[in-house]
Structure 1
């Protein structure tokens, strides 16, 4: 069965592959449609989504770090 943890683990271990695929697809879409701005917007939103995924998967470590900085 697929759950959110297994998908997050796969994305974390294959983040370079995912970024290259998203960048390649974005460049391809931009070249085909001649709308570079839209393709780069998709690429940037994908990066933001991966950032949120990374932050969500390591929220405990981030919380501990924030506590150590504050105190």
Structure 2
């Protein structure tokens, strides 16, 4: 039982070190995963969903109080 536990701990440790080689040994920073702060995602035109919804809401509020007189429209 103890042997299996030690072997599993060693394997998990090797996996963590293997996954973090770039960060631990090459001194690179962890890649930004948040859409609003990632330069590559912004370059592709992707933005934060929350920010996009707020922008659309503000645009909708600008035109909410506009009243159009149909009689004055020229077709």
- TM-score w.r.t. structure 1 length? 0.33
Return the structure number with greater relative CO, CA threshold 8 A, min gap 6. 1
Q: Rg bigger for which structure? A: 2
Q: Which has the higher helix share?
A: 1
